[in-house]
């Protein structure tokens, strides 16, 4: 990476980190993926149950496998072989786990977390329930403000996720949001965390490399 690109990324992460801290979030800036993975393992120390919010970013960092190999009970609702009832039960357990790990669709330079969700299990756990929440954010998720964040999600992340999840939506075919009425629509809940929820230990890991969608 060119020196000026590294400088630009560093400045944007610095701006976002300061804004998040002003808004009450605990923030750690990780220079690369390896340091982010190590930090997540440190955050998991002492946790009996670890929930996962269906994050591509975490998969790219090697989770939940890295924690499962260390003996943690990992609550993964997307695990193969689960029935619909079993999947729902895992989602509900995630809401009261010791540590909930998730990505976030976007973080703004003025310190907000922006997400669009399908069922609400992820955004629910981000705001209340687990003893500790860690949101992992690659530099590609930074946006100027909430409006820019929502545009990014609708124009890129949501269509890509619909395709990844094999949803029968117009965007999974065209790559463009159609604000559809499909039963498979994944854009159902919009959440903007303007400040840290008062009863949630929510920590943000900003990573100076792209992660996820």
Q: What is the pLDDT of residues 146-176, one digit of tens each?
A: 999 999 999 999 999 999 999 999 999 999 9
Q: What is the CATH number of the domain that holds 203?
A: 3.40.50.10420
- Whole-model pTM above 0.85? yes
Of the candidates 176, 38, 73, 189, the residue with the CA atom closest to the CA atom of residue 125? 189
Q: What is the pLDDT of residue 204?
A: 98
Residue 96 within a domain = yes
The mean pLDDT of the chain is 97
Q: What is the pLDDT of residue 118?
A: 96
Among 2-11, 26-35, 91-100, which stretch is predicted with the lowest mean pLDDT?
2-11
Residue 160 within a domain = yes
Residue 36 within a domain = yes
Q: What is the pLDDT of residue 2?
A: 86
Length of the chain: 213
Of the candidates 119, 109, 179, 117, the residue with the CA atom closest to the CA atom of residue 146? 109
Domain count, the chain: 1
Average pLDDT over residues 73-79: 97
- Residue 59's Cβ-count burial label (10 Å; 0-12, 13-18, 19+) is middle
Residue 27 within a domain = yes
- Domain range for residue 64? 3-207
Sign of the Cα pseudo-torsion (16, 18, 20, 22, in order): negative
Residue 142 within a domain = yes
Average pLDDT over residues 90-119: 98
Is the model's pLDDT at 17 over the cut of 90? yes
Average pLDDT over residues 66-91: 97
Residue 13 within a domain = yes
Is the model's pLDDT at 1 over the cut of 80? no
Residue 77 within a domain = yes
Contacts with 86 (C-beta within 8 Å, 6 or more apart), sequence order: none
Alpha-helix residue ranges (DSSP H) falling in the chain: 3-22, 33-43, 56-60, 65-68, 84-94, 121-127, 146-152, 158-164, 170-174
Residue 212 within a domain = no
CA distances from 170 to 21, 53, 152 (A): 38, 24, 17
Is the model's pLDDT at 92 over the cut of 90? yes
For residue 206, the Cα-to-chain-centroid distance in whole angstroms is 11
Is the model's pLDDT at 206 over the cut of 90? yes
Q: In DSSP terms, which residues pair with 132 in a beta bridge?
A: 99
Of the candidates 207, 192, 203, 208, the residue with the CA atom closest to the CA atom of residue 145? 192
């Amino acid at each position: 990476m060119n020196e000026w690109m590294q400088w630009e990324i560093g400045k944007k992460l610095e701006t976002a980190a300061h804004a998040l801290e002003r808004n009450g979030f605990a923030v750690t800036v990780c220079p690369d993926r390896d340091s982010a993975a190590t930090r997540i393992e440190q955050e998991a120390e002492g946790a009996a149950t670890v929930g996962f919010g269906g994050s591509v970013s975490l998969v790219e960092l090697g989770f939940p496998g890295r924690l499962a190999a260390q003996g943690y009970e990992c609550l993964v609702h997307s695990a193969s072989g689960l029935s619909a009832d079993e999947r729902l039960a895992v989602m509900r357990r995630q809401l009261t786990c010791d540590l909930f790990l998730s990505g976030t669709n976007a973080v703004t330079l003025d310190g907000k977390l922006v997400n669009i969700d399908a069922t609400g299990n992820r955004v629910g756990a981000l705001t209340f329930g687990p003893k500790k929440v860690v949101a992992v954010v690659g530099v590609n998720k930074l946006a100027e403000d909430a409006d820019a964040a929502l545009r990014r999600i609708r124009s890129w992340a949501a269509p890509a996720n619909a395709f990844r999840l094999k949803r029968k939506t117009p965007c999974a075919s065209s790559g463009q949001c159609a604000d559809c009425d499909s039963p498979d629509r994944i854009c159902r809940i919009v959440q903007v965390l303007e400040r840290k929820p008062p009863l949630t230990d929510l920590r943000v890991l900003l990573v100076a490399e792209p992660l996820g969608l």
